[in-house]
Amino acid sequence: MAIVIVVIVVAVLVVAGLAAFLLAPSRRARPPIVEVPPAPPAKPAIKPEVEPAVKPEGAEPEAAAPVIERPPPSAGRLVRLRDRLSGSRSTLGRGLLALLSKDTIDDQTWEELEEVLLTSDVGVAASTALVDRLRERVRVLGTRDPEQVRELLRAELLETLHPDADRSLHTAPHDGHPAVVLVVGVNGTGKTTTCGKLARVLVGDGRTVLLGAADTFRAAAVEQLATWAERVGATVVRGAEGSDPASVAFDAVATGRRDGVDTVVIDTAGRLHTKTPLMDELAKVKRVVERDAPVDEVLLVLDATTGQNGLIQARIFGSAVDVTGVVLTKLDGSAKGGIVLAVQQELGVPVKLVGLGEGPDDLAPFEPEVFVAALLGA
Ligand code: GDP
């Protein structure tokens, strides 16, 4: 029995040894085990040409092709922007309506009404005239009904704004040359911004425009104008810093004529304290331009927040150049709406445009009916 067990054990050992011998070569031939990195994520199916190019460090950025904007047409802008007149409404409109909502209208009411007008920048002459006319109409009609008086007030405010005045901008080319618009005003009123916004208004309304940077004393103003022009694909004519503004204006009109542009808008200097008196310089700009083409519009830019000061500026500018229209800027801010009435009543020049914000399209053709309705919250 013991012999049998020994034989079995020996046989098992022989088989195991044989197996080990036979398997050994294949184990040696196996490649070494290496860490396989995870497969890279599959590339998205984008064609190489549309992948963003990687620029070498320090390389000049390529100039992006300018995107020419197409501003919206100007019609109806005041209606869209009327909420911006909230400052005007709170000082003037609310004051007026509060007074006229009283049960009875007596002498004190009329005095208070005049007071509200005066504190809202309407000015003495326009305030007195308005209250006198309103009072007379109320007397003639024999009404004490606040609702009716309110309607009369609306009509009187509208009358003060000369609703029938011609507020169109003369910007169409004629007699073989472009229309010429001179933009004048004291620095800080928003003159250069207005030139830029006006270019957008004109382009939006289908005109081709050239901007003349005749405020040659302020490099920043020239750059500002160039940026506005670039956005709407308009040309800019500029001179060297400190060059003669009249010659830049002349060149602008000549270039506009050569290029067949519809409207040339010229930004002028507005600094008050310099060697050459500003008014002489402006008169010269106009004279020189008119050797080549008539000036169709002289737009005076006034900052509505400066109140009666604006009227003084207007008289001074009016004595140097015939102002054909007023642009009242910053009516969106703390301006008291009365300044519109004062300007219209006392200058005899129509308010043609109003600035209602710093956005590029916040310049609107002035519409008396919309303005009065906004004032009275109608
Ligand atoms: P300029 O010195 O008369 O040429 O004045 P600018 O055009 O440089 O404008 C002076 C400042 O007034 C700028 O900050 C303009 O953005 C701002 N401005 C111009 N028009 C308006 C407007 O209608 N509303 C407001 N809120 N700001 C305006």
Give per-residue pLDDT as tens, 97-146.
888 777 778 888 889 989 999 988 888 988 999 999 999 998 898 887 87
| Contact partners, residue 238, CB within 8 Å, separation at least 6 | 212, 213, 216, 222, 225, 226, 248
Does residue 333's CB lie within 6 angstroms of at least one atom of ligand 1? yes
**pLDDT > 90 fraction of the chain, expressed in percent and rounded:** 55
Which amino acid, residue 320?
A
Does residue 305's CB lie within 6 angstroms of at least one atom of ligand 1? no
Beta bridge partners of 40: none
Q: Which atom of ligand 1 is nearest to the CA of 357?
A: 24
Report the C-alpha gap between 245 and 195 in whole angstroms. Answer: 16
Q: How far is the CA of 125 from the centre of ligand 1 (A)?
A: 29
Comparing C-alpha atoms, which of 175, 178, 173 is closest to residue 258? 178
Q: What pLDDT was estimated at residue 9?
A: 54
Does residue 360's CB lie within 6 angstroms of at least one atom of ligand 1? no
Q: How far is the CA of 192 from the centre of ligand 1 (A)?
A: 8
| Contact partners, residue 154, CB within 8 Å, separation at least 6 | 372, 373, 376, 378
Single pTM value for the model: 0.82
Pair of tokens at residue 368: 């008396």
Q: Where are the beta strands (DSSP E) in 87-206?
A: 179-184
Give per-residue pLDDT as tens, 339-364.
999 999 888 899 999 999 999 999 99
| Choice between 241 and 232, residue whose per-residue pLDDT is larger | 232
